[in-house]
Amino acid sequence: MNRSRWKEWLGCMLIALMIASPTYATPIEGGTLVWGRGGDSVTLDLAQATDGESIKAGIQVLENLVIFGKDSMDVEPQLAESWTVSPDGLTWTFQLRKGVLFHDGTPFNAQAVYDSLARILDKNHPFYNYGKWKYLSLSLDQVSEIKIIDDYKIALITKKPYAPLLNNLALWLCPILSPKAMAEYKDQIGLHPVGTGPFKFVSWVKDDQIVLERNDAYWGGKPKLQKIVLKSIPEPSARLMALQSGTIDIADDLDPDSIALVKKNPNLSVIERPSVNIGYIALNTERPTLKDPRVRQAISHAIDKDTLIKTIFQGLAIPAKNPFPPSIWGYNDRIQPYEYNPGKAKKLLTEAKFPADAELELWAMPVSRAYMPEPVKTAELIQAYLAEVGIKTRIVRQEWGTYLNKVSNGEYDMCMFGWLGGNADPDNFLYGLLSADTAKTPGAANVSLWKNTEFTDLCLKAQKTFDKAERTKHYLKAQEIFHDEAPWVPLAHSTMVRCFNKKLHDVPLRPNGLNSFQMVWKEQ
Question: What span, in angstroms and rounded, lies between the C-alpha atoms of 232 and 14?
Answer: 43
Among the listed ranges 74-82, 87-95, 226-234, 355-363, the one in contact with other proteins (CB under 8 A) is 226-234
**Interaction pattern, residues 368-407, with other proteins; x per rule: CB under 8 A:** ------------------------------xxxxx-xx--
Rule CB under 8 A: say whether 234 interacts with other proteins. yes
| Four-CA torsion 404, 409, 414, 415, nearest 10 degrees | 10
Amino acid at site 374: E
Rule CB under 8 A: say whether 91 interacts with other proteins. no
Angle CA 373–498–64, to nearest 5: 100
Query: Given candidates 17, 18, 32, 151, which one binds other proteins under the rule CB under 8 A?
Result: 32
- The nearest distance, CB 274 to other proteins, in angstroms, is 21
Give one DSSP letter per residue of 307-347, joined into a string.
HHHHHTSTT-EEE--SSS-TTSTT--TTPPP----HHHHHH
Amino acid at site 439: A
Rule CB under 8 A: say whether 261 interacts with other proteins. no
Query: Given candidates 43, 139, 501, 516, which one binds other proteins under the rule CB under 8 A?
Result: 43
- The nearest distance, CB 428 to other proteins, in angstroms, is 10
Neighbour count for residue 148 (Cβ, 10 Å)? 15
Decide if 313 contacts 353 (C-beta within 8 A). Answer: no
Task: Considering the complex, state which of residue 411 and residue 470 has its C-beta at the smaller distance from other proteins.
Answer: 411
Query: Given candidates 10, 25, 238, 387, which one binds other proteins under the rule CB under 8 A?
Result: 238
Rule CB under 8 A: say whether 50 interacts with other proteins. yes
Handedness of CA 450, 456, 458, 464 (dihedral sign): positive
Residue 198's SS3 state is: coil
Query: Given candidates 215, 232, 275, 518, which one binds other proteins under the rule CB under 8 A?
Result: 232
| Four-CA torsion 308, 309, 313, 314, nearest 10 degrees | -110
Among the listed ranges 255-263, 383-391, 412-420, 494-502, the one in contact with other proteins (CB under 8 A) is 412-420
Task: Considering the complex, state which of residue 137 and residue 144 has its C-beta at the smaller distance from other proteins.
Answer: 137
Question: What span, in angstroms and rounded, lies between the C-alpha atoms of 46 and 176?
Answer: 9
Rule CB under 8 A: say whether 522 interacts with other proteins. no
Helices marked H in 323-440: 342-351, 375-388, 400-407, 426-434
Rule CB under 8 A: say whether 419 interacts with other proteins. yes
The footprint of other proteins (CB under 8 A) covers 32, 34, 39, 42-43, 50, 132, 134-138, 187-188, 190-191, 203, 205-209, 211, 227, 229, 231-235, 237-238, 241-242, 244-245, 247, 398-402, 404-405, 408, 417-419, 442-443, 445
